[in-house]
Amino acid sequence: MSRSQRLLELHQLLRRYRYPVSAEELANRFNVSVRTIYRDIATLQAQEADVEGDAGLGFVLKQSFDLPPMMFSVEELEALRLGAEWVAKQANGEFSEAAINALAKISSVLPSEHEAKHTESIVRIASAFKAP
pLDDT higher than 80, residue 86? yes
CA atoms within 13 A on the CB side of 98: 8
Task: Assign domain 3-61 to its CATH architecture.
Answer: Orthogonal Bundle (1.10)
The model's confidence at residue 33, banded by pLDDT at 50, 70 and 90, is: very high
Residues 6 or more apart in contact with residue 94 via CB below 8 angstroms: none
pLDDT at 132 over 50: no
Mean pLDDT (the chain) is 78
For the chain, give every residue range classified as CATH 1.10.10.10: 3-61
Task: Give the whole-angstrom CA distance, residue 59 versus residue 21.
Answer: 5
Give the mean model confidence (pLDDT) for residues 37-48. Answer: 92
